[in-house]
Amino acid sequence: MRSRSVAVAMTLSVLCAGGAVASYVRSARLKSEAGWYGARADAEAKEYTVTLDDATAERQLASFETRRDILERAHAWQRTQLMFVLGSVGSALAAYLFYLFFRLRVQLVDASELPPSGPLNPGGPTPGAPS
């Protein structure tokens, strides 16, 4: 017999862990894309130093702006990842506590089914009573 609360907490922990992994993957992809835009902006900056063309400078600024937007989204995914990690750890801790409460409840039920024995009478005859 299992406790339903333990199963729910463990399921929630696994789901949060999966969400954290998915958030990490999304953040990593966005960081990679931002790195590409950064390299592109650097190349446009080098081109501008050679040509001194205003259109090249505008493209460079647009690349940096796109990179900044992408990095903002990547940081949002990192915050989401952190929340999922905290949720997963909290759920795992709750599952463990629910498991301990479940074991305690089972032990209390088992103890209540034992025959009563007083502190002076651990199951033997009462002292001074006729045999």
Domain boundaries, the chain: 4-111
State residue 1's pLDDT score. Answer: 47
Averaged pLDDT for residues 39-59: 85
Q: Predicted confidence band at 75 (pLDDT cuts at 50, 70, 90)?
A: very high
pLDDT band at 59 (very low <50, low <70, confident <90, very high): confident
Mean pLDDT over the full length of the chain: 87
Q: What pLDDT sits at residue 116? A: 66
Q: Say whether pLDDT at 22 is over 70.
A: yes
State the virtual CA torsion across 25, 27, 33, 38 in degrees, nearest 10.
Answer: -140
